[in-house]
Chains A and B, each alone.
Chain A
């Protein structure tokens, strides 16, 4: 490599000067660098350069594609499982196995799990740790101090935020192609729903145990609007997730209530609140519609499933 560079700098033919100045000349740069050498050397040098490049290429791409990725939060689990090659994942969080909240629970079953503990992470020897915006800060600063690279992902509340997360994850994993494909598929499904919007958007509200609802800047709000519903919580000025008073709910007169059961089958006062008879009466006897939590507890391409289900539940 050194000898080769020295050779190019010593004698340079006139015919190649144009190529050095600009892009006008027909001769390409490597040919010109080799031009000053003896003809039988030229071929050798060209081959040497080619082999060197070939040797370098896998080295470069390997450093861009991590092979031991550990995720410690549910939402990074989802994106990792969607985008990574099977040999890239070293561990996912235990939350990824829970079928009510994890969209990728089935695929997650084949990977070792972690409980987001520093000791576990160190023994895994990961070359990349994925965490969410809300992961334990002390844990993250600890593993960072120990020299492990950590990437933190925000929780998106819009389609754009989901796209950004997918692209960023794909880039980190060296799987840009898969990332683009995933975004494209999601966009296609959303566009198909967007083409069949109702003339009058019916009034809907998302109602959760303890009277929580999803206002502006939530995925539920984004999905309701994309599917063709009005989100009353956002219209009432609620930001994020907040409890709505039941009288305020009734006065808003929703035509349909949606809920996402977080722990189906279990009982509590909070969950009993969803059974209040007034909720059924105000929607003219329509039952509350359940949309699985796994579609929007984390931002991901599965939001399209929720949007499609919401769209299908529009009144005829």
Chain B
């Protein structure tokens, strides 16, 4: 069997980066009001205080940047998780990392801690993500089958979402209850540069930790024993990836809310293009995730102003049928 597309790693990365750059620029053009982007860039660079420059740098740029890094994080973590657990359905959304992160962030935000200490928000997200991931991993066992893992994930997800709903009902703010949907679906609207700066350290640290795991993940495709005899320490790799995912996903989700299915879909779409090689999949999935979330956010912004559709609604609309397709496909092989 011949791969569907003959692309070298460089060509693939280059092509994806080009698409990402175009989408990023496009997302700066799209807003509720048409503004002259040329003038906005000139004003922003020359430091002339103008409203168009402010709209570009304080409203549109943070939104696009948050979409970019969050999408990249979800894609990257999905690829790493699928490689580590050797399970096609593993992803931050399904394993509970995302809803755990949302729960941690909710604890910090609505009960006043993050207003005095901004970094408490991503810290809560990181702790929540790590706790949920470990819990699912322990529940399912180390060599869990696809179904066991998904069921454990479903249980932890349900638990986390129920706790989020409970906490938001108990929160002192009268606006809290209406924000349940924000944490369940995820949204990147109305964020500022300050939010981006808050989420960035954890995300960069997580990316950095994941960067060197490619070769171990490649070895892992040959089986755990083979990988161990090749000199890779599996417990170390496992902890490294879990902590990296908690850092990156926890920080991102604490700002955006849990955005579903990007971590699941993107690695699957790109896997054939990298010859099913986990080490190459990591970078490609990161760029692919950023592309997908940016594209989804552009679509959300194209709806007429006033219809506040959460970006997670769109990614789930694309992702859920894909998830079904994966289940049917994996069932066919198992039976």
Contact = CB atoms under 8 A, between A and B. Distances in A.
Interface stretch (A6-14, A67-75, A192-200, A242-250): A242-250
Given A248-B32, A277-B58, A267 B173 contact: yes
B175 A210 contact: yes
A15 interface: no
B contact residues, range: 20 to 34
Interface in A190-230: 209-211
Interface string B31-48: 111010000000000000
Contacts of A158: none
Interface in A238-282: 242-243, 245-248, 250-251, 253, 262-263, 265-271, 273, 275-278, 281-282
A282 B109 contact: no
A248 B110 CA distance: 28
A31 B32 CA distance: 82
Contacts of B9: none
A267 B168 CA distance: 11
B283 interface: no
Contacts of A269: 109, 175, 179, 182
Contacts of A209: 175
B310 to A, nearest CB: 12
Nearest to B193: A277
A250 to B, nearest CB: 5
B119 interface: no
A contact residues, range: 20 to 34
Given A269-B182, A273-B190, A263 B174 contact: yes
Interface in B106-130: 109-112, 114-115
B32 A247 contact: yes
B178 interface: yes
Contacts of B140: none
B145 interface: no
A247 B59 CA distance: 7
B110 A268 contact: yes
Contacts of A267: 109-112, 114-115, 171-173
A245 B179 contact: no
Given A247-B33, A263-B173, A267-B110, A276 B190 contact: yes
Contacts of B305: 245, 248
Contacts of B178: 270
Contacts of A210: 175
Contacts of B192: 275-278
Given A250-B51, A250-B59, A245 B306 contact: yes
Contact of B58 (A245, A263, A273, A278): A278
Nearest to A253: B51
B179 A270 contact: yes
Of B59, B112, B178, B306, the most chain A CB neighbours within 10 A belong to B59
A245 B303 CA distance: 13
B209 interface: no
Contact of A282 (B51, B112, B115, B193): B51
Interface string A288-306: 0000000000000000000
Interface of A: 209-211, 242-243, 245-248, 250-251, 253, 262-263, 265-271, 273, 275-278, 281-282
Closest 3 CB pairs of A and B: A266-B173, A270-B175, A278-B58
8 contacts: A248-B32, A248-B33, A248-B305, A267-B114, A268-B110, A277-B193, A281-B54, A282-B51
